[in-house]
Amino acid sequence: MGTKQQKTEDLQKNIKEILNKLGWSYKEFADFIYCETHDIDTEDEVRKFGEKVKKELNRKTTKPEKLEKYLDILFTDKEVQKLDMVFNKYISQNYISPYLSEELKEISKEIDNALKNTTK
């Protein structure tokens, strides 16, 4: 599995986890994103956007950059800011080898999973 696809799946999982904690449906999420990114909205445009977002949250081919944008917008909401959640966002600085970078990501993922399992 490619790293871009894994990143997409991780971001989709993060968004779905936030929506679950908020009790938001995909439609509510899409409506929020649409309102934050568009000045004029018609019912038909909002509906089409909602369908598109729902697909993007499930497709493995969705660009991670789009999902990161959605997360950035989502974190502007006061209810989201109140959630007790932290998501790590790795930004490569090209100081270490790609192999070491991937291994560090895996270690971080294992720590995240271990922490989630201890808080359940």
Binned at pLDDT 50, 70 and 90, residue 1 comes out as very low
This prediction's pTM = 0.70
What is the average per-residue pLDDT within 9-17? 91
Shared domain for 47 and 103, answered yes or no, is no
DSSP-derived secondary structure for 57-103: TT-TTS-HHHHHHHHHHHTTSHHHHHS----------SSS-HHHHHH
Nearest partner of 119 among 17, 25, 22, 10, judged by Cα? 17
68 and 34 in one domain? yes
Are 80 and 101 in the same domain?
no
More confident residue, 96 or 56: 56
Are 10 and 61 in the same domain? yes
Same domain, 61 and 115: no
Domain that holds residue 105: 88-120
pLDDT range class, residue 111, cuts 50, 70, 90 = confident
Domains: count for the chain: 2
71 and 30, same structural domain? yes
